[in-house]
Structure 1
Amino acid sequence: MARITPLEWPVLRQLRSRDSTGRGAAVTSKKTRATKPRTDDADKVVQSICPYCAVGCGQKVYAKDDRVIHIEGDPDSPISRGRLCPKGAASEQLVNSAGRQTKILYRAPHSREWEALDKDRALDMIADRFLEARRRYWQDEDEHGNPLNRTLGVASLGGATIDNEENYLIKKLFTAAGAVQIENQARI
């Protein structure tokens, strides 16, 4: 480690720079002066919304080489004004987690193994099962002849991470399909 000469002592730097309160650059160390923000290396900054709850706090996502390196609160957001809760502040770990699933996995009934599916096949399987459950449990009328036009074979339980517009569209979709069991985590 290099020796500090007496001329580099903070009190002498303070007197030379007329920093009477000792709160300016005169009292900072070389290490502090060499410190730079971890976001300086970012190639781009993208505004986003925190994925954890329905509040919609604004985030600034810093990326380098198409990889997220840091996420912080967006001071321009009228909702959070630059602040994030602990979960929102840790959302970079959600993106870069080694255990993050990036494939659609399916396990057939009575199978012990998971298989990876492509998106089109998975969507077709979901649609087929949705339509079959709707058809099988469709009720035209009750025992007194009153029209029901509903199914108890499908239901929706939404999460708090979807916003009001998505909840509105899900409610419309499931109501049009005849479902009556439509709920959202935010109401429970």
Structure 2
Amino acid sequence: MGVKQWIGQWPVYRQLTGTDPLGRGSAAQSARSAGLEPRTRGADRVVDSVCPYCAVGCAQRVYVKDEQVVQIEGNPDSPISRGRLCPKGSASKQLVTGKQRVRTVRYRAPYGTQWQDLDLDTAVDMVVDRVLDARRKGWQDADEAGNPLRRTMGIASLGGATLDNEENYLIKKLFTALGALQVENQARI
């Protein structure tokens, strides 16, 4: 390769001598980057979603090909995030496609040292039994003066900010119906 040919590949030279004096287009492109195409180009469809990590509610576009998530990007139509995502939101594709993701119900018995896999029905039954037992043990029907309380001090709820308004509304209704007083959400703290 001659000196002139080598200098011609140099981006600054292309910027100064070519049609891209600001270096924002072809002058800044390498041969490799000129041949790249977006990961979203081959997607079958785009699904609108919301980032699951915090209470901000940044909108996302989820690109799907063959029923598999291929890319997640910010939605520029969102008045909240205007197409931008924080580092956690940008990495949310790993939440659904990561190899490290646990896809089974894991349980470790009290004082146990090993985790074991449970089927979903068994796990749900265990949770229901424990909630009802804690509700029963902490139930207060009336105070010392006979005033009705109808509450339990045995259970509480601390919700996460990844839940939407409808989910938080239903959780509040559930725990209120159970008689719990301590119903809080991490987004409000």
Q: TM-score normalised by the shorter chain: which range applies?
A: 0.7 to 0.9
> What CA distance in whole angstroms lies between the structure 1 residues aligned with 2:128 and 2:75?
38
Instruction: Write the distance in 2 (CA, Å) between the matches of 1:20 and 1:42.
Output: 32
Find out whether 1:87 has 2:60 as its counterpart: no
Q: CA deviation at 1:151?
A: 0.5
Distance 2:45 2:2 in 1: 40
Amino acid at match of 1:40: R
The residue identity in structure 2 corresponding to 1:159 is: G
SS in 2 for 1:62: strand
Structure 1 residue 147 displacement after superposition: 0.8
Partner of residue 173, structure 2? 172
Output the CA distance in 2 between the equivalents of 1:52 and 1:77: 16
Relative to structure 1, is the Cα distance of residues 39 and 136 closer, same or farther in structure 2, using a 3 angstrom cutoff? same
Cα displacement (A) at 1:153 = 0.9
Rounded to whole Å, the distance in 1 between the matches of 2:93 and 2:87 is 11
Deviation at 1:30, TM superposition (A): 3.3
Q: 2: distance between equivalents of 1:123 and 1:52?
A: 24
Distance 2:55 2:141 in 1: 36
- Residue pairs, 1:64-143, within 5 angstroms: 64-143=65-144
1:160 alignment partner, SS class: coil
Runs of 4+ in 1 over 6 A off after TM superposition: 2-6
Report 1:21-32 matches (<5 A): 21=21, 25=26, 28-32=29-33
Name the SS for the 2:130 alignment partner: helix
Whether contact under 8 Å (2:48, 2:62) holds in the other structure is yes
Give the corresponding residue for 1:34.
35
Structure 1: gaps (5+ residues): none
Unmatched tracts of structure 2, length 5 or more = none
CA displacement 1:56-114 (0-9 Å, x = unmatched): 11111223444333211011223222111121112122223332111111122333332
Residue matched to 1:19: 19
Structural RMSD (CA): 2.9
Q: Residues of 1 paired with 2:3 and 2:36: CA distance?
A: 19
1:20 offset after TM fit, Å? 7.1
Where does residue 48 of structure 1 map in the other structure?
49
Change (3 A) 1:28 1:80: closer
TM-score between both structures, scaled by the size of structure 1: 0.81
Give the TM-score of the pair, scaled to structure 2.
0.81
Q: By how many angstroms is 1:33 displaced?
A: 2.5
Residue 128 to residue 19, structure 1, CA distance change in 2 (3 Å): same
After TM superposition, the structure 1 stretch with the greater mean CA deviation from structure 2, 57-66 or 120-129, is: 57-66
Deviates more, 1:83-92 or 1:20-29: 20-29
**Number of matched residues?**
184
Match of 1:146 in 2: 147
Does the residue aligned with 1:180 lie in a helix, a strand or coil?
coil
Describe the shift of the 1:25–1:124 C-alpha distance in structure 2 as closer, same or farther (beyond 3 A): same
